[in-house]
């Protein structure tokens, strides 16, 4: 991993901290403002659903693929959804070739936890025949450019890709699973839209959606994934301490921010229309 001191200077770090104390950001945003999202779906022809999502300079390509396998013994009538992330070296000098590192594992797990704990995916709809065959859905994120806050960008990307999904619908016959000629779409399997909302912390200053320079000098961050009515998960990283009062305050802000973001993004517009 490249030494962060080679990426961002002490002078820039001090500048970021001093401005945050004045409730200012280096890119002109307020403390509780997101950078612009840009979403395109169905960008990968070979995938059963895909999205290309940018959050400021951060860009993540997400694809959906599937397989058919036997269910887990303790979930005989439920399919499986697996979320993975790959940090491509072309995305940042901070990324290196090789097996998944801590950053890619964290990205996949935090996004997965928000989706899983919100019961976002109706796993029973992914069952072809109890105890015999279920869908195994793979959601793969590829970071194309790292401009900070990969978690929120990846979370929106996964939801957009899942909503755009069109998986061939199978039925069970004496010869095993066969295609019905129809499709299972995102509207069939997605029941809720948990949005990850990430806050960075430098000193006593807390702010939404860290850009890359802010993230590099942050002492820590917390991601609060929320549905319309519930907190699905909370994940903290770094050495920064968040008091119970700060977590309560940020949870309330997460609901307010997610409500506006849900309306702004209108993710259901990307649902596949099967004729």
Kindly report, residue by residue over 75-86, the tens digit of the pLDDT.
Answer: 999 999 999 999
Give 115-165 pLDDT, tens digit per residue: 999 999 999 999 999 999 999 999 999 999 999 999 999 999 999 999 999
Mean pLDDT, residues 172-192 taken together: 92
Fold type of domain 8-270: Ribosomal Protein S5; domain 2 (3.30.230)
| CA dist list (Å): 128 to 79, 83, 172, 203, 228 | 9, 21, 6, 52, 30
Task: Return d(Cα 227, Cα 176) in angstroms, integer.
Answer: 38
Helix axes 150-163 and 102-117, enclosed angle (nearest 10): 50
Q: Where are the domains of the chain?
A: 8-270
pTM: 0.93
Residue 2 has pLDDT above 50, yes or no: no
pLDDT band with cut points at 50, 70 and 90 for residue 175: confident
Residue 192 has pLDDT above 60, yes or no: yes
Give 238-249 pLDDT, tens digit per residue: 999 999 999 999
Residue 88 has pLDDT above 70, yes or no: yes
Task: Return d(Cα 222, Cα 116) in angstroms, integer.
Answer: 18
């Amino acid at each position: 991993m490249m030494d962060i001191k080679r990426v961002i200077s002490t002078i820039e770090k001090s500048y970021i901290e001093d401005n945050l104390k004045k409730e200012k950001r280096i890119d002109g945003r307020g403390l509780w403002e997101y950078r612009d999202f840009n979403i395109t779906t169905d960008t990968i022809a070979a995938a059963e659903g895909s999205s290309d999502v940018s959050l400021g300079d951060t860009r993540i390509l997400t694809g959906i693929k599937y397989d058919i396998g036997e269910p887990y013994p303790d979930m005989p009538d439920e399919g499986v959804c697996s979320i993975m992330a790959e940090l491509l070296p072309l995305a940042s000098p901070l990324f290196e070739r090789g097996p998944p590192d801590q950053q890619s594992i964290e990205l996949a797990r935090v996004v997965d936890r928000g989706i899983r704990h919100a019961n976002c995916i109706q796993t029973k709809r992914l069952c072809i025949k109890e105890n015999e065959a279920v869908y195994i859905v793979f959601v793969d994120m590829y970071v194309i450019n790292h401009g900070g806050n990969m978690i929120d960008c990846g979370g929106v990307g996964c939801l957009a890709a899942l909503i755009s999904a069109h998986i061939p619908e199978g039925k069970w016959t004496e010869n095993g699973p066969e295609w019905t000629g129809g499709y299972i779409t995102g509207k069939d399997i997605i029941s809720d839209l948990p949005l990850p909302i990430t806050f960075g912390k430098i000193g006593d200053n807390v702010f939404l959606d860290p850009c890359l320079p802010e993230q590099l000098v942050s002492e820590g961050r917390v991601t609060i994934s929320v549905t319309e009515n519930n907190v699905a998960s909370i994940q903290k990283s770094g050495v920064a301490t968040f008091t119970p009062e700060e977590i309560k305050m940020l949870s309330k802000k997460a609901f307010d921010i997610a409500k506006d973001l849900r309306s702004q993004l209108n993710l259901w517009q990307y649902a596949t229309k099967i004729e």
